[in-house]
Amino acid sequence: MDYTLHRVQAEDWPAYRAIRLDMIRDTPLAYLETLDDALAHPDSEWRFRTTRSASPGNIGVAAVEPEGAWVGVMNGFLPAQDTAKLVGVWLHPDHRGPAGGVAALMLDEIVRWAREETAAERLVLLVHEENRRAIGFYRRSGFVPTGHEEPYPLNANQREREMELLLRD
């Protein structure tokens, strides 16, 4: 299947809200909010999120099917001048797996953004220690563990592991 990559814009908030709710329903441990919290957000919060994604130093990328359905999303931002951070990664279960290549397509766009539109030296992410599928995808994509871990914000007994991809030679 052919997918189009779409850079998230402010007016995309209804589609972003729908996919974010799907993300949390599918993989609740991967996101830093509960479904109840996400459902309670007013429209202004969703507008804020998509406006932020379209602002300088940020990127949101959606994988879109030919008929217009969003099937995946990835976001990036600059927490520091030399570091870009990958967040909010999700792909609908029907589109997962190396054969489809959708996750790699979105990640390639985030990496391109970080290399060409920022001065970042590295792209980092935090992944839940039990999210083996995601950890495997990131490793295959060139990310390596940094050794840094943080308590998972929704359960301090669990950990998030930092991984990084160096962007410059």
> In 3-state terms, the chain is what percent helix, strand and coil (to 5)?
40, 35, 25
Average pLDDT over residues 1-28: 93
Confidence of residue 30 (pLDDT cuts 50, 70, 90): confident
Confidence (pLDDT) at 97 = 80
| pLDDT tens by residue, 31-74 | 888 999 999 999 999 999 999 999 999 999 999 999 999 999 99
Confidence (pLDDT) at 99 = 67
Which of 118, 139, 115, 119 is closest to 127 using CA atoms?
139
**Domains defined along the chain, listed by start:** 4-166 (3.40.630.30)
Confidence (pLDDT) at 1 = 66
Gap between the Cα atoms of 17 and 7, Å rounded = 15
| pLDDT tens by residue, 134-150 | 999 999 999 999 999 99
Question: What is the percentage of the chain residues whose pLDDT exceeds 90?
Answer: 83
Helix (H), strand (E) at residue 102: helix 102-116
Q: Which amino acid is at 149?
A: E
